[in-house]
Structure formats: structure tokens, C-alpha cells
Amino acid sequence: MSPRPDPPLDPLLDPPTAPPLATAPGASIDPSIDPGLVPRMLSALGGVRRRIRRLAGRTVSGRGLTEAHAELLRLVGRHPGIAVGDAAARLGLAPNTVSTLVGSLVARGDLERTRDPRDGRVARLSLPRPAQAAADAVRRKRHALLAAAIASLEPRERDALVAGLGAIEALTARLDALEAEAAA
């Protein structure tokens, strides 16, 4: 008797599988990791982020900005007065790369750069007042939308979400460590 074929996948219930990930020479993928986990996780995290942005609006317009420019503007909107070096560290970019981004954004009028009054060697970044107000409004709307969506989950789903955040935060820390190892 021949084995029965697997039933067809339901695209809504069964996440797509991907071929094995390419890895750096000498690296290997732990065989205990479900091969569908990585694409499913990336899809889920990206999907949440994209949907919130679509529903609440964007904090920066796409007026010819690269993703690096947009990420810097979003960071400064969340942390007005951040130092250029701190922005570089948070974005995982070289300070000179961030300085180049800052220069182009200042020239466009999308970003303000001021000298720290206590240490003239430090440049502080902020958005122009109208842009900061718009970014704050969009951020409040995003928070409200996500809070409402979380509130609509069943209690067990909310508990699972809270429990999973610790793992996602640990994963982020591990990715930071891997990035630091690769840069060394």
C-alpha cells in the first residue's frame, strides 16, 4: 500500500515554507529549528508593522528618502535631542554613515542639528517643530490602534503575546551580539 499524499496546504492556516537559508561559510543551521519558523516569524513581525503603518499613517514621507534616512528620522522623532553617536549605535550604523545621513537631511530641511551646550563636540538632533508634532500624532494613533487590537484578543492570546515578547527581546539581543561579533 502506498503512502497517502499530504493534504493540500491551506494558505491561511499553513505558513509557506522556504528553502534552507544560505549561511556564511562554515556556519550551519541548527537542525532542531523548525524550517518554517524563520519565514513565519519574519512574515508575522513584518505584517504587524506594515499594517500599523498603513492604518495610522507614516511618520515620514517617501519624498525620495532612502530607508536609512527614514529610519534616522523615525528614531529622532522618538528621541528628540539624541546625539549623533547614540543614533548611530541604536541604528547599528557607523557614526560617519549617520553623519552623512544627517548632513543630507539637514540640507533638505527634514532634520535640525544643534551643538550640545555642555559639550560642543556633540551634535544633537531633532525634527523641525511641525514634523515632530506630526510624528507624535502618528505615534499616538499607532499605539491606540495596537492597544485596541490587543484588547480584542482572547485572554489566552494576550497571555501568549506577553510571554512571547521576552523571547523576541532575547532574540533581538542575540542578533545584536551576532552583529557585534561580525564587526569585530
Mean pLDDT of 77-103: 93
pLDDT tens track for 145-181: 999 999 999 999 999 999 999 888 888 888 888 877 8
Question: What is the model's pLDDT at position 28?
Answer: 64
pLDDT greater than 90 at residue 44: no
List domains and CATH numbers for the chain.
Answer: 47-157 (1.10.10.10)
3-state secondary structure 92-139: CCCHHHHHHHHHHHHHHCCCEEEECCCCCCCEEEECCHHHHHHHHHHH
% the chain with pLDDT above 70: 81
**Which residue, 134, 129, 119, is CA-closest to 83?**
119
Mean pLDDT of 97-107: 94
Q: How confident is residue 183, by pLDDT bands cut at 50, 70 and 90?
A: confident
Q: How confident is residue 106, by pLDDT bands cut at 50, 70 and 90?
A: very high
- pTM assigned to the model: 0.64
pLDDT greater than 50 at residue 3: no
Q: Which of 12-26, 33-47, 89-103 has the lowest mean pLDDT?
A: 12-26
Average pLDDT of the chain to the nearest whole number: 80
